[in-house]
Structure 1
Amino acid sequence: MVGGSVGDKLVIEGLHKSYPVRTGEVTALEDINLTIGNGEFIAIVGASGCGKSTLLRIIAGLENGYDGTVRLGDRRIAGPGLDRGMVFQEHRLLPWLTVEQNVAFGLNGLVPGEKERLVREHLDLVGLTGFARVHPHQLSGGMAQRVAIARALVNQPGLLLLDEPFGALDALTKIQMQQEILRIWEVERTTMVLVTHDIDEAIYLGDRVVIMSSRPGTVKRIVPVNLPRPRDRTSYEFVEIRREIYAEFFAEAERPFAYAI
């Protein structure tokens, strides 16, 4: 059975990230302070270019050269590690490998039979037991993302990072995948951090919604979502939280195109 181990607390303190440009530098993130508890599901929303994905990449260890502290438990994040998994908007599966080979790709140094067991359990977790021997081109977009999720979870990380993982899917598949990731979270209780442009998705999935300001990105506000699961997107309480989050963006926006989230 797939384990339900819970990871360490994620602590971000005084995070500042700039990029050099020809005329000087551009500040992407400024004074980010955020603590994410064990087993929590956090959703991050903000205008395009506010640094949401940069923040996720720093947590994943894919970006460095920042000021401040990013810790998972008592360990400072200084690079990629098996304690963190990441799912991108595109599934990024290797087309020449089968589904089971893609899931097993990062598993090394295991005793005979252990790799096969982990792959089998995680394909079962994402509902793809019968598709182990097929190749990515034979899968729908939603099924390919399920494989990507299984691959990210197979090393049993304490923290799963989701960078707009359903953004390229059609509306119905997107809703199905939101339900799927929520089911997986309820089974695994892995800490999850989701970056999304979809406010409804953020409210439906998140324990808290982190609203980031326009560049330079800062944590403008954190909205708790104290609604029981499964959540009804048409309920008065859900709509009120949506209205509250939208108001933050409209209050900041100065031009029509800045409303895009």
Structure 2
Amino acid sequence: MTVLRDICLSIEPGEFFCFVGGSGCGKSTLLKMIAGLERPTSGKITVGGRTITGPGLDRGMVFQEHRLLPWLTVEQNIDFGLRESVVKDRAAIVAEHIRLVGLVGFEKAYPRQLSGGMAQRVGLARALVNRPEVLLLDEPLGALDALTRQQMQHEILRIWRAENTTMILVTHDIDEAIFLADRIAVIGSRPGEVRDLFTVDLPRPRDRGDQKFDQLRHDLWNSIFRPAGTSASSVDDQASADKDQAEVSEYVGK
């Protein structure tokens, strides 16, 4: 089975980039290939001009489940991210990242003592502790409740600004993609390919009730769910025709 086909993208340093699309379209597979956890059967992926052949400290990854080691404390889990690094003051680096994700006072806590949002903060710190060039986020907020999810979106933006790290996010949440990303790529159904590429030209912090936010939400929805082989304009034309027909039917009914 061909999972992905003809993916050709360039992501700028420091950019917040997002992939959206239906389940099974290959978004997470693409992210794993960038991480070096899987290898493409053709083509290549590069970071800073270097071809990816496997995992590396220049890339960090945060999964939907926090994947913390339950027998280690918060600071020990973050320190675990440094296991392949040669650094002089690991304790200071760990403490710096505990402050970065807002967990001062919870250094000695175990994962079972943390909320879902706090556990994901630890996962973020562990992925960032090596100062990666690229941070990969595979639905990291999908298991959180709505309020915690929105709070964590603000936290991720704060960390992105503070660290100046290129972030690549996979999500099913259209609003989340618009709120966070500089650009959004819509991945079509199998084999996955870039169906549309949107630039989010909205100032931060972004207002989810803004008219431009709502228009982009509409455009992304149409892009994700339009039938294969049809253009965005044809979907809009059909939606307009359906609306006109509904108005005519309502008038005739009166």
Whether TM-score is above 0.5 comes out as yes
Q: Measure how far apart 1:249 and its partner are.
A: 2.4
Distance of 2:41 and 2:212 partners within structure 1: 39
What amino acid maps onto 2:224 in structure 1?
Answer: F
Retained in 1: the 8 A contact 2:59–2:134? yes
Aligned to 1:15: none
State the TM-score, normalizing by the size of structure 1: 0.85
Write out per-residue CA displacement over residues 89-140 of structure 1, whole angstroms, 9 at most, x where no aligned residue. Answer: 00000000000000000314322xx101110010100000111111010000
Retained in 1: the 8 A contact 2:33–2:40? no
What amino acid maps onto 1:152 in structure 2?
Answer: A
Aligned to 1:139: 114
Three-state SS of the structure 2 residue aligned to 1:233 is coil
Three-state SS of the structure 1 residue aligned to 2:136 is strand
Distance of 1:98 and 1:253 partners within structure 2: 48
1:204 aligns with 2:183: no
Q: Measure how far apart 1:253 and its partner are.
A: 6.9
Q: How large is the RMSD of aligned CA atoms in angstroms?
A: 1.1
Q: Say which structure is richer in strand.
A: 1
Aligned to 2:140: 165
Q: Measure how far apart 1:72 and its partner are.
A: 0.5
Q: Give the 3 Å change call, closer, same or farther, for CA 253–173 of structure 1 in structure 2.
A: farther
Aligned to 1:14: none
Three-state SS of the structure 1 residue aligned to 2:141 is coil
**Candidates 44, 52, 63, aligned match of 2:38:** 63
Distance of 2:87 and 2:196 partners within structure 1: 44
1:240 aligns with 2:215: yes
Retained in 1: the 8 A contact 2:81–2:127? no
Q: Measure how far apart 1:65 and its partner are.
A: 4.6
Q: Percent identity?
A: 61
1:84 aligns with 2:55: no
Q: Measure how far apart 1:250 and its partner are.
A: 3.0
Q: Measure how far apart 1:160 and its partner are.
A: 0.1
**Candidates 45, 51, 55, aligned match of 2:20:** 45
Q: How do 1:10-29 and structure 2 match up within 5 A?
A: 26-29=1-4
1:99 aligns with 2:94: no
**Candidates 90, 93, 110, aligned match of 2:87:** 110
Write out per-residue CA displacement over residues 67-105 of structure 1, whole angstroms, 9 at most, x where no aligned residue. Answer: 101000121000000000000000000000000000000
Corresponding residue pairs, total = 227
Distance of 2:228 and 2:58 partners within structure 1: 38
Task: Give 5+ residue unaligned stretches, structure 1.
Answer: 1-25, 255-261
Q: Say which structure is richer in helix.
A: 2
Distance of 1:199 and 1:65 partners within structure 2: 27
Task: Give 5+ residue unaligned stretches, structure 2.
Answer: 230-254
Distance of 1:231 and 1:188 partners within structure 2: 20
State the TM-score, normalizing by the size of structure 2: 0.88
**Candidates 188, 191, 205, aligned match of 1:213:** 188
